[in-house]
Amino acid sequence: MNWLPFRPHNPGPGVDSRFVPLSLDSALREAPPLRVQPREVQRAEPGGPACVLVSDDENLVAQCALISLGAAVRISRCSSSSPMIHDAEGPVLWGADALGEALAGSARCDVLVGHDEQAQTLWEAASRLPLSRVAILPGASQWLGEYLGLWCMRSGHGHTVALGSRAGGVGTSTLAVLLAHAGTLSGLHSLVVDLDPHSCGLWPRICARPPTGIGWDELAGSGGALASHQLVETLPTVRGTAVLTWSGTPPRAAVDGALTARLLTAARQGFDLLVLDTGRTPHPGSEAIGHFTDRQITVCDASSIPPRGNYVLRADHGMPTAAMESRSLLGKLSHTTSIERAVDRGDLLDALRSRRLRQQLADLRLLPVAEDAGSRGAP
């Protein structure tokens, strides 16, 4: 079978090529190298996100350790000459007792921490380190915890796209599944997440017999932080695309916000692409979800075009002139007979055999690019 190259038509000037998949066809035969690095780091360090503290002040170290514990972030203590400072992926905190080394060198310095009696010294140092923040404990304990927690949420390389709608029946869930699998076929490690409070589950449209793996039912009973490597290993996959939805009867309310945050934190570290099906807007957890998303897209028909924000139009019978002229329009998706038949037989992923559908998904430019080996390491 000959497959149409998965490339957008007429990308035009100013288009960010990072969100254009290079080839769907080649991915079906042999997955190309990715610009996104594999997840060895997460597997080697299953403890999760970590920050670094440079200090010999035992009292300060204990306080920072307690704060980081509450933010679900590991903290590593080191000396001012440690290579951990330069290699750290997370925030680097400097205690007031180590400010001399911070000012003398060129090491990273994200937060200066100390006690009330050291406030003047901290602020003076911050004036010479304009990119640094100041946390005077214990007064700033809550702020520091929120700072570390927010960084933890945003850690990881997974590109996250949230799809919502202003009305039901416009194909939001269908697009979410197709987009995630298009990412898989382009060489990305992809996950589709069912966050629709009114969801009936994604399995009926994806496959008749769901594969073995955990769903929201099992995650709802979990406690503590989720390890990214465990999440990757336990989620069910269909043709290489991971799926998180309800295994049994969906609940009557949205997923708990704290659980959503823990799940997305781990998923961004374990996957290259996350596609979130958030259902109708406004979502009850939209503020929390917004912390994790790189792009928020509305799926609509001609009667429910949003007043602001980017949108994808379901256009089964052409597109209205006003919609075609809108700069917020990313493209259209025709809900064709082939899609309907694929959904009816519980094999939605099979709809991607359609050249037209693959081209429509490519034209949306929502996927991060998988680069070939020749371009890796280019400046």
Give tens-digit pLDDT for 187-235: 999 999 999 988 889 999 999 889 999 999 888 877 666 778 889 999 9
Note the pLDDT of residue 279. 92
CA 155 to chain centre: 9
| Coil, helix or strand at residue 340 | helix
Let me know if residue 70 belongs to a domain. yes
Average pLDDT over residues 173-197: 95
Average pLDDT over residues 295-302: 92
Closest CA to 241 of 209, 273, 276, 201: 273
Instruction: Find out whether 308 and 328 touch, Cβ atoms under 8 Å.
Output: yes
34/97 same-domain check = no
114/235 same-domain check = no
Q: Based on the structure, what is the number of domains in the chain?
A: 2
Host H or E run for residue 244: strand 241-244
72/97 same-domain check = yes
Average pLDDT over residues 18-34: 37
Residue type present at position 48: G
88/111 same-domain check = yes
97/217 same-domain check = no
Mean pLDDT (the chain, rounded): 80
Q: Which comes out higher in pLDDT, residue 369 or 21?
A: 369
Q: How far is CA 135 from CA 116, 118, 151, 198, 243, in A?
A: 10, 11, 16, 42, 40
Q: How many other C-beta atoms lie within 10 A of the C-beta of residue 375?
A: 11
75/210 same-domain check = no
pLDDT band at 42 (very low <50, low <70, confident <90, very high): very low
Let me know if residue 378 belongs to a domain. no
238/346 same-domain check = yes
Report the side by side order of strands in the sheet with 295-300.
Answer: 237-238, 241-244, 190-194, 273-280, 159-165, 295-300, 311-314, 329-333
Closest CA to 132 of 48, 50, 54, 49: 54
Let me know if residue 376 belongs to a domain. no
Residue 125 belongs to a domain with what CATH number? Answer: 3.40.50
Distance CA 329, CA 221 (A): 40
The domain boundary, picked from 107, 132, 153, lies at 153
132/164 same-domain check = no
Query: What confidence tens digit (pLDDT) does each residue in 135-163 have?
Result: 999 999 999 998 988 787 777 778 999 99
Tokens 């050249």 belong to residue:
355
Average pLDDT over residues 330-334: 87
Sign, CA torsion 321/357/20/293: positive
Distance CA 73, CA 295 (A): 25
Give the residues across from 296 on adjacent strands.
162
105/66 same-domain check = yes
Let me know if residue 328 belongs to a domain. yes
103/130 same-domain check = yes
Note the pLDDT of residue 374. 35
Note the pLDDT of residue 78. 92
The domain boundary, picked from 97, 123, 153, lies at 153
Q: Is 262 exposed, middle or buried (0-12, 13-18, 19+ CB in 10 A)?
A: buried
pLDDT band at 18 (very low <50, low <70, confident <90, very high): very low
The domain boundary, picked from 93, 119, 153, lies at 153
- Domain boundaries, position 207: 17-40+158-364
Distance CA 258, CA 246 (A): 17
Percentage of the chain lying above the pLDDT 90 cut: 41
Note the pLDDT of residue 324. 59
285/336 same-domain check = yes
Query: Model pTM?
Result: 0.67
Nearest 5°: phi and psi at 278?
A: -95, 0
